[in-house]
Structure 1
Amino acid sequence: MTTTQAASKSGGARVAVQKFGTFLSGMIMPNIPALIAWGILTALFIEVGPFPNADLATMVGPIIHYLLPIMIAGTGGRMVYETRGAVVGAFAVMGAIVGSDLLIDRINAEGEGGLGYVHMFIGAMILGPLAAWVMKQLDKLWDGKVRAGFEMLVNMFSAGIVAFLMALLGFYLIAPIVNWIMSVVGGAVGWLVDTGLLWLASFLIEPAKVFFLNNAINHGVLTPLGTTEVATDGSSILFLLEANPGPGLGLLLAFSFFGVGAARATAPGAAIIQFAGGIHEVYFPYALMKPTLIIALVLGGASGVATNMLLGTGLAGPAAPGSIFAVAVQAGLVGIGNLVGVLLSVVVAAAVTFLVAAVILRASRKRDLAREDAGDLSAAIAKTEAAKGKKSEHLSNLAAGGAAAGTAADAGGTAVVSEPIRKIVFACDAGMGSSAMGASVLRNKLKKAGIEGIEVKNVAIANLDGSEDLIVTHQDLTARARLQNDRATHVSVENFMNSPKYDDVVTLVGDSNATE
């Protein structure tokens, strides 16, 4: 296998995992407010909470066991087939919930141990989209073939029958599978906690974050397990494995003191956005500039986890976004002592990452200064990509979307488009954090340039619908964006906060509309 073929297959696998993680994120993220509300209720009123209230605590179980999985399944169904998919998906997951409970009751009745009920988050993420997909395919079979006047009858009964059948599938097949998965995964996490080795999870999570592969782990495993722990213990350390803002802060502070060129100049602003705003994506390009810095992130993350393990601290619910304020609120709900411990874990993670990153940056500072003309961050990242054996798309390129591999503009130039650009979309993994920041920056630039009537919005990559004229994505996500819309002009950037390509986009938009 040639190096190019290996890189292509590696990139394809990475894109596939990213897409899977994005889909999971799309189901979980809209329901985070409900998870936060449940976390507040649980942290305050269960028996081990600061204000134990047996009456209010009766809401805790039904919400996590029924409401949250149904909401997630409904969201997943809606993503696949709008309202019709949401209805059949929400109903279908009830089969998995009840089937799982029945299996647990039988095991307990046979005296094999007091097993707790499995909260069907994973079942919801399977059955919601699956039921909606089945409904969508069946609707295609008789689309346009139903006699006039019978459309509503067919639509209602077909959806009801699909929901019924998918609930049976959940009851007999999905429930035992998910029970087994949660038993294995829960046992593995429990073993890591009991043996004091949970910090090893950082060796997987921190590199995964940098390559936008963390959502599958965070939303597929950590959130369901953490939510289950909160129901019994009032808090969970698992919510801090990925959300701790300390490692990113430490890395950006190291660049602020020991970086070179554009990286050093932009790092302080990025640190504020990452730490206070919770948009972790802003530090990913800095790590990719010098892949050895991932070591600093891993050691920092592991130190933060170890600190929380030693102090027995955690969060009452998921911190979304991973801002220090969101982390502090969820930690404070558990108690003042817990809050102090969590904040200490953030400080430790930041300090360890800073020290290790500082050593790495200082060791290569002279070489970086010699090689980096005018402190060009884009050139540094391009060299990093080349060193990985991965196809490099220069960060200053504007690629015409219809080309198979993209037609790059000359460095410092702009692409030529044949149609006016009216709709610009910033797309990221979840469509909420870094893309929202980039959209805001470009709106301000268009306004200052006197260009009006241009729609600039931010969405998740999975929600690109083909109507976009120009799409801006992080370089690692451009391949996925092209799969969603190969007609649009695509702009790859290394940093949503301050990409020099935004000025080129403004020029391109102005020129395209001037030719109308």
Structure 2
Amino acid sequence: MSQDATASSGKPKTSLKAKVQKFGTFLSGMIMPNIAAIIAWGLITAIFLTPGGWFPNATINKLSGPALTYLLPLLIGYTGGKMVDDERGAVVGAIATIGSIVGSNVPMFLGAMIMGPLGGWCMKKFDDLFQDKIKSGFEMIYNNFSAGIMGMLLAILAQAVVGPFVVAGSKFMASGVDWIISVHALPLANLFIEPAKILFLNNAVGNGILVPLGIQQASSAGKSVLFLLESNPGPGIGVLLAFCLFGKGSAKSSAPGAAIIQFFGGIHEIYFPYIMMKPSLFLAVMAGGVTGTFTFQLLGAGLKAAASPGSIISILLMTPKGAYLAVLSGVLTAAIVSFLVAAFILKRDKSTSEDDDFASKQAQVSAMKSESKGNAANTNDTQVSGQGMDYSDVKKVIFACDAGMGSSAMGASLLRDKFKKAGLQDISVTNMAVRNLKDENGLLVVTQEELQERAQQKAPSALSVAVQNFMNSPRYDEIVANLKVAQQGTTDEKENSRPTTNSQSGKQEFGGIDFSQVKEIDFIHHDEHTGSATMATSMLKTQLEKAGKKTTVKRVSIDDVVDDKDRLVISTPETIKNLKTRYTNVQSLSVADLRDQKLSDIVERVQ
């Protein structure tokens, strides 16, 4: 971060983009943790609604009303309070929310999004004033009664003021939405929604604005088209299919896998880098979004509840009986228009593959220097930063995205698998929303470039790595290699610090190799030592045959090494150091010369 981006107090200034992201994420942060409850309500309504459900059941359908009126708003209020002041704020936020519910006759989602954070904020400020003044032994009395009294006062306020105010506001917004729909202007919303998604405001727009409005509309009309505006996978799949046919380099080769993840997995973030590397493709997703929403509105499409993630599977599960054709038509038309516009742009592009190649874009990510020490890289692309921390300090890795669910969960899973293969199981890998990050020692935070500023504000002491795409980043291999090097360096220091005795000299000569397990000896070959490796392989093989030993000898590349204890790899010190960063179980022997006399001693030890 540059010096002019730092305030005189030493704290980094927050850019306008980060402020907008923070506010939008705060709104969506109250909805996202409760998406499962919203889906449960939607499924109950879609399946058991009497009449109109797939399997009408009046008894089970009785769950729908209380869930909509009480359960969902209270969960949102509780979550909003917890975001501000942990458990005490959560409880007060829920108490305050019940006041807004009682003071209204509409689903009180907006009231919950007001009273939940307000309850947490009031509790936090009250504790800041009085908690330190409480005498020892009276803490429990203070904690319980202060929260109870604060919750009571806020519930009364919500019942008398907030509830009626939100009712009036909800009616006004509902009439506005109805008017926009009546004049067929709703598709124009996608001119804002599609670019906002790619700027990582997708959760803010979808879950912070459209979902609460959609739930209120669905509670009276049985479905809402608002649930489809942001979650429609059509625009994204259209762009990715265009890259499959007309892309260049690794952008083209990676697009089919990305299309599957985006369309069926619902992780829309995976197509964002494809748009960012060619900004003219914003026109493709905007055109696709407008077309899809127009089709939805024309055919009367809508969903029973929020579709999260935005997968075609979750969308179909939330589709009411009789509306499948309308929903699928909107997705299909959005995909077709997006594909046609993207194909036109890609085919007319005359730039070289180097300029337009997805691999080149990702290569900028891996070109950052100083990652082993966590120094800030002063570039316009991926940055690595940390305050005096290096990879030897890392004890925990956190993937942080806007909502802390879809894309970060996939990234964490990918890195967790790489850690397992590299023998780094002692380092935990988790995912969370960027708003929930806490500054702690030994932390490595992996986040998207657009969110790195906020991640650094939340955890300024952590080692921070920014990537363009959680699902396809070369930085993961670099993180693994750097951690392996750091661990190996620590191990080497311990080994070197041990005193040498005559009885141990034989073991130390061969680095503690367990020859009883060795079934194959591999010589690593590369450009500088191809001839030496070939000669050493031939010589050792001949000696083993003369000695009647069954151990096989091969010449292999470092990429073809089998990571097993029954393999002994022999090569130069530089190559063995590289080997240890990539493999965990294979045994190794470092020799300055591949024709070292030490090879003759190996014949006596193997079977």
2:427 equivalent in structure 1: 454
Question: Which 5+ residue runs of structure 1 have no aligned equivalent?
Answer: 102-116, 383-393
CA contact (8 A) 1:398 1:491 kept: no
* 2:460 is aligned with 1:486: yes
Give, in angstroms, the shift of residue 91 of structure 1.
Answer: 0.6
1:153-183 residue CA offsets vs partner (Å, 9 max, x unmatched): 1111111111012113323442344234323
For 1:201, the equivalent position in structure 2 comes to: 189
Match of 2:351 in 1: 367
3-state SS, counterpart of residue 480 of structure 2: helix
User: What amino acid maps onto 1:486 in structure 2?
Assistant: P
CA deviation vs aligned residue, 1:485-511 (integer Å, no higher than 9, x gap): 011111111111121111111122122
Deviations 1:229-280 (A, max 9, x none): 2222221111100111111111111111111122112111111111111111
- In structure 1, the residue matched to 2:325 is 340
Overall identity of the aligned pairs, in %: 47
User: Are 2:347 and 1:376 equivalent residues in the alignment?
Assistant: no
* One-letter amino acid of the structure 2 residue matched with residue 179 of structure 1: V
Alignment of 1:400-439 (within 5 A): 406-407=376-377, 417=390, 419-439=392-412
Q: After superposition, give the CA deviation of every residue in 1:2-28 in whole Å (9 maximum; x if it has no partner).
A: xx99xxx99822211211222222211
TM-score (norm 2): 0.73
- Residues 367-400 of structure 1 show CA distances to partners (whole Å, capped at 9, x for unaligned) of 1426357951236xx7xxxxxxxxxxx5643677
Give secondary structure in 2 for the equivalent of 1:367: coil
Q: 1:510 aligns with which of 467, 484, 509?
A: 484
Distance change >3 Å, CA 510–CA 400, structure 1 → 2: closer
**Shift in CA distance, 312/10, structure 1 to aligned 2, threshold 3 Å:** farther
Distance 1:39 1:295 in 2: 33
Residues 415-446 of structure 1: CA distance to partner in whole angstroms, max 9, x if unpaired? 88174211111110111111111111112222
Mapped partners of 1:144, 1:371: distance in 2: 60
Question: 1:266 is matched with which residue?
Answer: 254
1:28 aligns with 2:2: no
Deviations 1:174-205 (A, max 9, x none): 23442343233222211111111211111111
* Secondary structure of 2:432 counterpart: strand
**Aligned equivalents of 1:401, 1:179: Cα separation in 2:** 56
* 1:386 aligned partner: none
* Aligned AA (1:178): V
Match of 1:39 among 37, 42, 57: 42
> Among 65, 72, 81, which residue is 1:61 paired with?
65
CA distance in 2, matches of 1:418, 1:264: 34
**Largest Rg, 1 or 2:** 2
Counterpart-to-counterpart distance in 2, 1:153 and 1:370: 68
- Residue in structure 1 matching 2:334, options 349, 370, 375: 349
In 1, Cα distance between equivalents of 2:77 and 2:358: 51
In the aligned structure 1, how far is the partner of 2:379 from the partner of 2:294? 48
- The yes-or-no answer on 1:500 pairing with 2:474 is yes
How far apart are the structure 2 equivalents of 1:475 and 1:152? 44
Pick which of 59-68 and 354-363 moved more: 59-68
Distance, in Å, in 2 between the alignment partners of 1:301 and 1:282 is 17
Are positions 1:286 and 2:274 aligned together?
Answer: yes
Pick the aligned partner of 2:444 from 450, 466, 470: 470
How many residues are aligned here?
Answer: 476
1:128-155 Cα offsets, whole Å, 9 max, x none, are: 1221121122122233422222221111
Distance 1:10 1:247, change over 3 A: farther
How far 1:329 sits from its partner (Å)? Answer: 0.9
Q: Which has the higher helix share?
A: 1
Q: 1:167-206 counterparts in 2 under 5 A?
A: 167-206=155-194
CA distance 1:24–1:368, shift in 2 (3 Å):
farther
How far 1:315 moved relative to its partner?
1.0
Q: Which residue of 2 aligns with 1:19?
A: 22
Query: Do 2:248 and 2:358's aligned partners in 1 also have CA atoms closer than 8 Å?
Result: no
In 2, are the aligned partners of 1:279 and 1:321 still within 8 Å (CA)?
yes
The one-letter amino acid of 1:91's match is: I
- Describe the shift of the 1:18–1:145 C-alpha distance in structure 2 as closer, same or farther (beyond 3 A): same
Task: Report what 2:368 is aligned to.
Answer: 397
Aligned to 2:605: none
Give the aligned partner of residue 140 of structure 2: 152
Query: How far, CA to CA, are the matches of 1:180 and 1:401 in structure 2?
Result: 57
Q: 1:173 to 1:413 in 2, by over 3 A?
A: closer
- Does residue 298 of the first structure (1) align with residue 286 of the second (2)? yes
When residues 49 and 419 of structure 1 are mapped into structure 2, their CA distance, relative to the original with a 3 A threshold, is same
> Is the CA contact 2:223–2:303 (under 8 Å) kept in the aligned structure 1?
yes
Distance 2:174 2:250 in 1: 44
- Structure 2 gaps of 5+ residues are 6-11, 491-607
For the 8 Å contact 1:425–1:457, the answer to whether it is kept is: yes
RMSD: 2.8
> 1:440 — aligned with what?
413
Which letter does structure 2 place at the counterpart of 1:509?
Answer: L
Deviations 1:96-117 (Å, cap 9, x if unpaired)? Answer: 2223x2xxxxxxxxxxxxxxx3
Are 2:382 and 2:466, in contact at CA under 8 Å, matched by a contact in 1?
no
3-state SS of 1:134 partner:
helix
1:291-327 CA distances to partner (integer Å, 9 max, x unpaired)? 1111110111111111111211211111111111101
Answer yes or no: is the 8 Å Cα contact 1:86–1:128 preserved in 2.
yes
How far did residue 52 of structure 1 move?
4.8
1:49, distance to aligned residue in structure 2 (A): 3.8
Letter in 2 for 1:507: A
> What TM-score results when the alignment is normalised by the length of structure 1?
0.85
Paired with 2:314 and 2:93, the residues of 1 have a C-alpha distance of: 31
Change beyond 3 A, Cα 1:97–1:414? closer
Question: Does the C-alpha gap of structure 1 residues 54 and 399 become closer, same or farther in structure 2, counting only changes over 3 Å?
Answer: farther
Post-superposition CA distance 1:339-391 (Å, at most 9, x none): 12212221111111111100011111x31426357951236xx7xxxxxxxxx
3-state SS of paired residue (1:273): helix
Judge conservation of contact 1:399–1:408 (CA < 8 Å) in 2.
no
* Counterpart-to-counterpart distance in 1, 2:182 and 2:404: 37
Q: In the alignment, is the contact (CA less than 8 A) between 1:260 and 1:375 conserved in 2?
A: no
1:95 is displaced (CA, Å) by 1.8
Higher mean displacement: 53-62 or 119-128: 53-62
Conserved? CA contact 1:260–1:368, under 8 Å: no
What amino acid does structure 1 have at the position aligned with 2:291?
Answer: S
Check conservation: 1:263, 1:375, Cα contact below 8 A: yes
- Provide the rounded CA distance (Å) in 2 between the counterparts of 1:497 and 1:119: 38
Tell which deviates more after alignment, 442-451 or 148-157: 442-451
